[in-house]
Structures are given as structure tokens and as C-alpha cells.
Amino acid sequence: MKILFNRPIKEQAWGGGSHFITSLYYYLVKKGIDVTFNFENNIDLIFMFEPRSDNNHPGIEQILEYQKYKKTPVIQRINDTDIARHAYGLSPHDPPWRIKTLLHANQFVDHTIFISEWVKNHYMGHGYNRKERKDSVIVNGCNLDYFYPEDTTDKKNTKLKVVTHHWSDNPMKGLDMYIAMDKICQNNNNIEFTYLGRYPSGYTPKATKIIPPVYGKKIGDILRAHNLYITGARFEACGMHHIEAASCGLPVIYHKDGGAINEVCKEYGFEINSVDDLLKALSFYSSKENRKTHIDNIDYDYLSNERCNFRYYECIISLINSFDDTCEEK
């Protein structure tokens, strides 16, 4: 069985989307599936991560050309919107070009996978019609070999040790909340804040510990050295950072405009919309009992890439074997 990925894998520190492709690639290879990145003979399925062509990797136009010679089922994974870029003035088009591009490409695919209900609802509001083709919602998962809980931090520390991590230095990842955290820590010795990743420009923190980007288990080790996570990210299609944090046993403070973050973290997190809300959340989580209550709600199996990859595998096999099968998130 041979599958075409239209985007490459990356092994180093990178964003969540690249980590997903790499994880799924190795999972499928272990299942005995031959995964290629360019058109070859006898491809059984095309997995389209991005409709645009990129260097030597095909986009929807090249896929349609290939279809003229060999009819091949296509899965499209939709993992982004332009809401955040639009809100921050980074995407001037209205409606955003990404929506137009993805919906155009979606006319030619056999199965659509959205990475959250939030993303699916967004595209349905812009013309996506589920009656015309099959779709699934499969939420991201992380590597539990790297991201797992370790009940040591709360035993050794009386301080509230807060952490966040981002590969992107875009301010839409929550810079305003991280500035607020820095200012809070300047006046409260019982709270520490660590920023792991590329810190956005425009503000020089005074009380924040900044750690440059790392990869894999090193991220998990740093997260486990803390007892609370914060993400100020807005309009996240799904994201990985909060999933990795929760898998390390950390409750999550998240913004009310977090997008899919809210649907993932609502059982073990605290929603905020202002600095006053942030102060309330920090006060709430200063109690070990309150932290434990939310930690106990974390479903580690659901957050795993094993669950995520298996769902994709089911959809791939189902579509190859029969165009009539459906894939529903379980």
C-alpha cells in the first residue's frame, strides 16, 4: 500500500503541524504502509496537508493532473483558519485567502478531516457543505513518551511555577497575557513564569525566565518542572502546546477567544478574558487541592498521538477499501 504525503517531515524543533506530519509518517510506516512525498506509480491514496504547491511538493493543481492518469482517493486535512491573522491585521483579505483556497481544493477530495469542531464550524459558516462529502473531526495528540505526568513538582515547591511554550513568536500566541504574567511576577515572589520558545519582539521581560526552543522530550522535562500552564493564544485551530502541557499533568489557563483550545481544555482549565481574570486564575491554582481537582480530569489517552494516529489510519484504510465508509471521532 502506497500513500502520497504532499508535505515533508521535519525532525527538529518546529511548529505543531510539522510534528503531526512526522508522527503520522512513522506510525503509518510501522503499519507497513509505504509513504512517499512525490508522485509515483501505483499510489493508493493522496493525503493533502496543504493545497498549495511548495518547492518540489505537489498542490491541488498537480494532484488534479495526476488524477487524469490514475483516479486516486484524496484526504484533505484542514488544520487552520485565517481568523487569527485577520484579527491581528496579518491577513488583509476578506474573506481570507486561506478559506477560499481550502474550500476550492475541497471540491475535489473524497474525505475531509478537521482538527477540531471549532475549525469545522468555522468552515461550515463559510460555505463548506458536509452533505457533499464525508468528513471527520480528529483532535491532535502528542507523544506520551515525551509528555507524561510526574507528581514531583508540587511536593518540592511551594511557589506557583507557571510556564508556556511556543515555536512561533507571533503576538497572536498571547503576548499580552505573557506581559501581564511578567508584571505580576515583578510584584509577587510566590509566582515564577517561564517562557520556552521564541519570545515575541516589542517587550523586554524583567521577571520572566526565557528558554530558547528545544525539541521532543526536552520540552516535556521543562514542562514537568512546573505546576501550571498558561496560553494566551487566540483563535487556535487546535494547537499542540496546551495538549503537551496537559499531558505533563498541568492545569491550563486559557483565553476565552482561544478557539479550539477551549473545547480541549475546558475540563481541566480556567478561562480568562482580562488581567483581573488572570489574577483570579492564579489565586485559584495557588491551592494544591484546586490544581489536583483539574489534573484528575485530564484524559491522557485522549491526548495521545496513538489515539490520533490510529484514527487517521482508520480513515485511510477505510477510504482505500471503500469510498462509502465513514470515519467518526470516537
Q: How many domains does the chain contain in total?
A: 2
pLDDT at 86 over 80: no
Examine the domain organization and report whether 11 and 136 are in the same domain.
Answer: yes
Q: Which residues contact 147 (CB under 8 A, 6 or more apart)?
A: 219, 220, 223, 243, 244, 247, 248
Residue 61 lies in a domain: yes
Q: What is the pLDDT of residue 114?
A: 95
Report pLDDT digits (tens) over 133-146: 789 999 999 999 99
85 band by pLDDT with thresholds 50, 70 and 90: low
Q: What is the pLDDT of residue 245?
A: 97
Report pLDDT digits (tens) over 168-187: 877 778 899 999 999 999 99
Examine the domain organization and report whether 136 and 192 are in the same domain.
Answer: no
What's the CA gap between 189 and 186, in Å, rounded?
7
Q: What is the pLDDT of residue 18?
A: 65
Examine the domain organization and report whether 83 and 166 are in the same domain.
Answer: no
Query: What is the separation, in whole angstroms, between the first and last Cα of the chain?
Result: 25
| pLDDT > 90 fraction of the chain, expressed in percent and rounded | 64
Q: What is the pLDDT of residue 84?
A: 60
pLDDT at 274 over 70: yes
Examine the domain organization and report whether 316 and 260 are in the same domain.
Answer: no
Examine the domain organization and report whether 41 and 129 are in the same domain.
Answer: yes
Examine the domain organization and report whether 135 and 100 are in the same domain.
Answer: yes
Residue 328 lies in a domain: no
Examine the domain organization and report whether 278 and 311 are in the same domain.
Answer: no
Residue 218 lies in a domain: yes
Q: What is the pLDDT of residue 19?
A: 75
Domain that holds residue 290: 153-295
Largest CA distance in the chain: 67
The answer to whether the CB of 205 falls within 8 A of the CB of 199 is yes
The answer to whether the CB of 28 falls within 8 A of the CB of 313 is yes
Q: What is the pLDDT of residue 92?
A: 44
What's the CA gap between 29 and 33, in Å, rounded?
5
**Sheet-wide strand order for 45-48:** 34-36, 2-5, 45-48, 74-78, 111-114, 134-137
| pLDDT > 70 fraction of the chain, expressed in percent and rounded | 87
CA–centroid distance for 210 within its chain:
22
Per-residue exposure over 213-249, b if at least 16 CB sit within 10 Å of its own CB, e if not: beeeeebbebbbbbbbbbbbbbbbbbbbbbbbbbbbb
pLDDT higher at 152 or 48: 48
Examine the domain organization and report whether 97 and 186 are in the same domain.
Answer: no
Q: What is the pLDDT of residue 146?
A: 94
What is the residue type of 257? D
3-state secondary structure of 57: strand
pLDDT at 77 over 80: yes
What's the CA gap between 281 and 268, in Å, rounded?
12
What is the residue type of 16? G
pLDDT higher at 50 or 92: 50
276 band by pLDDT with thresholds 50, 70 and 90: very high
Residue 146 lies in a domain: no
pLDDT at 296 over 90: yes
pTM score? 0.88
Residue 300 lies in a domain: no
Residue 56 lies in a domain: yes
Report pLDDT digits (tens) over 201-252: 889 999 999 999 998 899 999 999 999 999 999 999 998 999 999 999 999 9
The answer to whether the CB of 115 falls within 8 A of the CB of 141 is no
The neighbouring-strand residues paired with 243 are none
Examine the domain organization and report whether 167 and 290 are in the same domain.
Answer: yes
What's the CA gap between 110 and 108, in Å, rounded?
7
Residue 148 lies in a domain: no
93 band by pLDDT with thresholds 50, 70 and 90: very low
pLDDT at 164 over 70: yes
The answer to whether the CB of 288 falls within 8 A of the CB of 154 is yes
Examine the domain organization and report whether 181 and 272 are in the same domain.
Answer: yes
**How far is the CA of 157 from the CAs of 95, 121, 160, 181, 219, in angstroms?**
49, 42, 8, 19, 20
Examine the domain organization and report whether 276 and 314 are in the same domain.
Answer: no
Residue 315 lies in a domain: yes
The answer to whether the CB of 240 falls within 8 A of the CB of 38 is no
pLDDT at 45 over 90: yes
The answer to whether the CB of 286 falls within 8 A of the CB of 160 is yes
Examine the domain organization and report whether 185 and 245 are in the same domain.
Answer: yes
DSSP string, 87-144: HTTS---SS-HHHHHHHHHHTT-SEEEES-HHHHHHHHTTT--GGGSEEEE----B-T
Q: What is the pLDDT of residue 94?
A: 46
Lookup: cell for 296: 484528575
User: 119: domain CATH number?
Assistant: 3.40.50.2000
Half-sphere exposure (Cβ direction) of 50: Cα atoms closer than 13 Å? 13
